[in-house]
Each structure stands twice: as C-alpha cells, then as structure tokens.
Structure 1
Amino acid sequence: MSNPATAWQTFLISQGAQFNPQGEASFPIGKASAQLFDLSGNGLIAISGADSQTFLQGQVTNDIKLLAQGAQFNGYCTPKGRLLALFYTFTVEDVIYLQCPRALVPDLVKRLRMYVLRSKVVVEDASERLYSLGLTSDALASTLTGLPADPHQLAQTELGTLIRLADADTQQRAQLIVAADQAETVWQSLRATFTPSSTAHWEALEIQAGIPQVYPATKEQFVPQMVNLDALNGINFKKGCYTGQEIVARTHYLGKVKRRTLLAQLPKTAQVPLAGDTLQDAQTQDAGQLVRVAPDALSGGWWVLAECRLEAKEAGEILWQGQPLLFKELPYALP
C-alpha cells in the first residue's frame, strides 16, 4: 500500500513541483494574481471525544470554549511556561484540530496522551487524513466562493473547510482543509483560477503577517509573550489553569515584556539563516534568536521574525553573523 504523503508528492511532481529535502514544494517562478500552495508540511493532531474540550482547556493557553467563534492560536507549554508548540486550532465536525509543523506531531501526540487518563478523549495524528492548501489573491473574496469576511472565521464549502487568514502585505489569504483522498481533485479544480506557487513564498507571507512558529530547534526557548502570542489573541488570561499558566500570567501582570518577536529582513548572504540561530548586539552579546525564516524572492535575501531583547534593539543594531537586521513594522500592535 502506497504512503499517502508520497502519493501526494508524486501527484504534485506531475503538476510541475520539485521538493527540497525539507519536503517543501517549489514551482516555476511566475507572476500570478491568484496563487495556490501545498501546505502538507503542516501536521494535524485530532482531539475527539466527549471530554475533548475540557481536556484541552487544561493544556493550552487560549480558551477552547471560544472555538465556536472561529479558529485561534494556542501555545502548549512546559510547567515552566516554555513553548513546546504553537498550534493553529480549529474545529471541524466536532473534532478539534491542532495544526503545527509535522516534525513535532509524533512527540506531541505521545505527550498529550499521557494526560488523557480516564477522560473520554482520543488523541490522533491526522496529518495523513487531511491536507492543507494555501490560497492568496489581492481580491480573494471575488475569486473564492464562500470565503468568510473576517480572519479566523470558518466556512464549509464543496471543496473542504475554508479558513480566512490574516492578510499579508496586499495579499488576502485563506487555508483550505481537504480530505486526503480528495486533495488531487480539489487541486485540479483550483488550478482553473489559481497558479501553483512555492511553499517558501507562503512562509514569507506568514512572516510578513507576523505569525511565529515553534520548530524542533526552538522548542522550550520561548515564553508565549516572547513570540507575541498575546498580540495574536492566543492567550486568555481569564480561562483558569493550564500547564505553564503561572509563568505566563506572571509575565503578563508583573510588568512590560522585555523580549519580543519583530519583523525584519536580511540581505542576500552566503549562508542560510535558520530558526534558532542566535543574534548579537553591537557588543557581540546575546540579543535573541531567529524565530522564522523564509526567502525574499524580490531581493534574494530573507524575511525573518526575530525574537529580540528590546533594550538591545533600542541601543543599536541587532546582528545575525555580522549582518544587521533591517526592521519593518509588524502588521499588529504589541501590548
């Protein structure tokens, strides 16, 4: 029996894709007003059962009861308040899905199952059951039938579950969740309007939208506020106890956060910057680390989200391997 992920990649190769060692799809570069992206690098954890909402309420930073109002960001912390994962969380047919990088999913499934105990909850890796596609356009609402009006709102369409995402630059964005056995048909249908584009470009749009991520290299490196999870409405300070809650609440109530994640660009470099790379100030002292990195197709350089000591940024340049970060305005306000 063929592996569904391999079958999906084989299909995309037939559509003109090439894959790098990280499993990211690239397509021939070309300008298009409406673009289609393979996001199968996103993993999905499915939480189902009568006690699923109560169970998750004690695990993550946001109020799971509010999922009825739309998708939400969530942090999953250690008891010391350090992030093991960042989830984009949504509900489809009474199942709660936690979306994060696929490489994190196996360990997270094992960890979550440890806390189920006698609860009526099933925790499963759903990464091969459902695939994610990304869609962008400067006029997406007129291109895509059924697109919700506001970010993080969901709609059930004939193609799958459609989630409106935050815009990036001038691009309106959405994510489509499709059943794995329908993915090829849906892709072909969308190609009538959307041009396949490289996953790396989607990553750049995510960065421009100020959306952080946690990877294997950066697990347990950040308290949620350090990656702006509060600014993204990913922390609910009234919901009650969850793992790491005491540290997260203390950070919130005892003063201004001293480290934040900022949007920046790097010029073209000989070496590839990576999430987890350290940053220095002008005195070569620690100033933070890279949170998320993607190529900038226009300049040949890089878009980055950089977690920085705010004091160091105010004092002067922040450097990656001697190269100064060129800071840009985030698309949202920091508390």
Structure 2
Amino acid sequence: MIFNQVNRILNKRYVINKFLRNVHNEMPTKVLYPLKSRALLKISGPESSSFLQGLITNDMRHFEEGAKSMYAMFLNTKGRVMYDTLIHKWDNDETFLIECDKKLVNVLQKHLKIFKLKRKINIEDVDKSFIMWALIHPETDKIHDSTSNVNIYKDPRLADLGFRIISAVGTKDSQIVEIFGKDIVVKDCEEGYKYLRYKLGVSEGADELPPGTCFPLEVNCDYLHGVSFHKGCYIGQELTARVHHTGVVRKRIMPLKFNQSISEIIEKDSVISASNKPKSNLGKLKGVMDDYGIGLIRIKEALDAKVLMVSKYQAEVLKPSWWPIEAPKEIIKSE
C-alpha cells in the first residue's frame, strides 16, 4: 500500500513537472511580427506579367490559376541567386508587389529597369506607403480574405511560416489584432520570426543569401515552391535546369541545433566542421539566433558526422521535416 501511495505521488509530481516545463517552453501560437527588414516594389502595366516571366525562377501563370502570392528568385547569367523575393498579386491582374530585403530594394529596382526597355510597365518603390507583418497562426482556415486596408497572403513557401500581411502606412498593430482575434501576441521586432525560420531551415535576405554566391537549389528554392522546371527561358535557367535534371545537389541550406544558447556574435561564413575532424570543411554558417542557426552545408557528410563544430560550439545538423522524402541522389552522391 505504501509503495502504491509513493508511486501515485511520484506520478503526480511527474505530471506537474511536465506541465510546468511545457508551459515554460511553449511559444505563443498566434504571433504578429513587424517585418522592418523587408521592402516593396510595385510593378504595374499591361506587360508586367510577361516582363517578370523572363526574369524569375517561378511561373507567373500561377497567378492566372488563382495564386495570390509566389516565391521566386532573380538569378544572374551564371545561375546564381541575386535576390530572393515574394511576389504578391495586388489590386488587378496587371499589378504586383515584389517583396525583398530592404538592403537590396534599390539595386533590385535598378536591375528591373535595365530590362524594362520599351515595355509598358511602371516600377515604383512603394515601401513608404505600406507596413509589412508576418502572422504566425495555426488556424489557417480561420484567416479570411483581405479587407479594405489590410491585405492577407498565405506564405507560399511553408504553412509554418503563416501569413504575410501588407497594410496601409499608419495601420496600428491593434487594428490587425481586431481582425484576427485578441489572443494574438504582438511583438515589436522580428527576432522571433527569424528564430522560427532558423528552426525550419529557411533562409531569407541579403545577410543569409549574399547576391551572386549561391545557386537556387542550394537554398531550397525547389523545395519551397520557388522554381518552375516547365516554363520557358529566364535568366539563369539553363544551369538551374541542368542541376535539377542531374539530381545532384551536394549542399543545401539546413538548420543547425546548438547544444547551448549562443550569446556572442559568431562571424558569418564561419566554417562548419566535423567534431572529430577539426580541419574538415562541411559548410559555412549563415546566421545564428539563440540555440539555432542555418548554414549552407554538405548534406551527406554533415549527417554522417552527427556532431559538428562551429567556432567553439557544438551543434548537430537537422534534416527539415518539410523536405521531400525522395532525396536519395543528393545524399548518396558526393565528390
């Protein structure tokens, strides 16, 4: 009898401790982040769709089939990523908003104007007219259509990345909360959003994807629905198609789980090595936030190594759950 009583007490303590741990570790399920690092260009005019079709990795015809938002990259002639973007359909079939890193909005605008020639389109920097937000919300079916001054887009990359919200300048976060429910936690910075991206293994912006350094498949553009292999030609298309058809992508952006929180700044592009082979080079760090980071990493070697070293810190590479199951070629084949 005494044994049973002790057992019940221990079980109760276990349940209580587990509950307290879960409460402590649980992240708010509905969070609104301001995206101050992102900017917008507006492309409008009767030739806007055909103009973008020849410049981006994705297929503008998705908008004709009902898509409201699309992930796409602009490449250089050597097939390397220059700008990663989200393209949002705006107020008609001839107007689109291109979302990009704020640091690159001016050079992207110049890039577009180089190819404009005599096409009937307008290219405007409209960043000062709008505010952008990321809404992380698990109940996707309860998010309704846009209102008069708040436009809502499902993130076209992953459901876990929630929604992009584009609102008129001057819109307060309290107005956004009224639309989606008062149980939303409003943040004043986007660090939590970046942390979520790192846990998922999704790169974004110039700091993580410096222009002209990576190929689109290395940064998971194919896995994130950002490249079409059936459309016509676009800048950088030939090499992208060749890599896809050979089926060999030896390194990709992947999440790193550190064995502790990182409070100091680790130099970007720090070498990632196997713990038992300090001189090995399995990839480069692209960013770190608390106990997670992302890096451009050699897939097979990093997974085989299990324990990795970045600077003086131990970490393990994680294969994202959203990667397609069929990825044997790139893991089996190595140089």
Q: TM-score, normalised by structure 2?
A: 0.77
Greater Cα shift, 192-201 or 101-110: 192-201
Q: CA deviation at 1:44?
A: 1.3
State the alpha-carbon separation in 2 of the partners of residues 331 and 126 from structure 1: 36
CA-CA distance at 1:52 after TM superposition: 0.8
Q: Which residue of 2 aligns with 1:3?
A: none
1:258 aligned residue = 250
Give the match for residue 309 of structure 1. 298
* Separation in 1, partners of 2:243, 2:72: 17
- 1:225 partner SS: coil
Q: Could you say what secondary structure the match of 1:124 adopts?
A: strand
* In structure 2, C-alpha distance between the alignment counterparts of 1:62 and 1:274, rounded to whole Å: 33
Aligned match of 1:318 in 301, 308, 311? 308
Which structure's CA Rg is the greater one? 2
Q: 1:319 Cα deviation (Å)? A: 2.5
Q: Name the amino acid aligned to 1:262.
A: M
Measure how far apart 1:176 and its partner are.
1.2
Partner of 1:215: 206
Q: Is the 8 A contact 2:243 2:249 kept in 1?
A: yes
Conserved? CA contact 1:213–1:291, under 8 Å:
no
| C-alpha distance in 1 between matches for 2:204 and 2:51 | 23
The structure that is helix-richer by fraction is 2
User: How has the CA–CA distance of structure 1 residues 230 and 274 changed in structure 2, closer, same or farther, with 3 Å as cutoff?
Assistant: farther
Q: Give deviations 1:146-187, integer Å, cap 9, x for gaps.
A: 1xxxxxxxx32245111123343xxx7222111114346734
C-alpha change, 1:322 and 1:102, in structure 2 (3 Å) is same
CA, structure 1 residues 323+75, in 2 after alignment: closer, same or farther (shift >3 Å)? same
Flag the 1:318–1:122 CA change in 2: closer, same or farther, 3 A: farther
Return the letter of the residue paired with 2:204: Q
RMSD: 2.6
How far does residue 37 in structure 1 lie from its aligned partner after superposition?
1.4
Q: What CA deviation, in whole Å up to 9, does each residue of 1:263-288 have, x standing for no partner?
A: 22222235324654442342423322
Count of matched residue pairs: 288
Cα distance between partner residues in 1 of 2:146 and 2:267: 36
Report if the CA contact (8 A) 1:274-1:293 is conserved: no
- Cα pair 2:173 2:186 within 8 Å, conserved: no
Alpha-carbon spacing, 1:199–1:290, altered in 2? closer, same or farther (3 Å) = same
Hey, what's the Cα distance between the residues in 2 that align with 1:253 and 1:329?
22
Go from structure 1 to structure 2 and tell me whether the alpha carbon gap of 1:91 and 1:292 turns closer, same or farther (over 3 Å shift): farther
Which residue does 2:191 correspond to in 1?
A: 200
Residue 204 of structure 1 contacts residue 294 of structure 1 at CA under 8 Å; is this kept in 2? yes
- The runs of 5 or more residues in structure 1 that have no matched partner are 1-29, 147-154, 296-300
One-letter code aligned to 2:318: K
Output one character per residue of 1:112-149: Cα deviation in whole Å (capped at 9) or x when no partner.
1111111112222222122112222444544x5x1xxx
Secondary structure of the residue that 2:261 maps to in structure 1?
A: coil
Indicate whether 1:290 and 2:285 are aligned. Answer: yes
Quote the Cα distance in structure 2 between the aligned partners of 1:246 and 1:141. Answer: 39
**Secondary structure of residue in 1 paired with 2:223:** coil
The amino acid of 1:206's aligned partner reads R
Q: In the TM superposition, what whole-angstrom CA distance separates every residue of 1:196-255 from its partner, at most 9, and x where no partner exists?
A: 124100112223343222415622111000011111111101111111111111111123
Normalised by the length of structure 1, the TM-score is: 0.77
SS of the residue aligned with 1:201? Answer: helix
Q: 1:225 to 1:157 in 2, by over 3 A?
A: same
Structure 1 Cα separation of the partners of residues 222 and 235 of structure 2: 16
How much does 1:291 deviate? 3.5
Which of 166, 186, 190 pairs up with 2:175?
186
Q: For the structure 1 residues 214 and 199, does the alpha-carbon distance in structure 2 shift closer, same or farther, using more than 3 Å as the test? A: closer
| Residues 207 and 286 in structure 2, CA contact (< 8 A), matched pair in contact too | no
Q: Distance in 1 between matches of 2:171 and 2:194?
A: 24
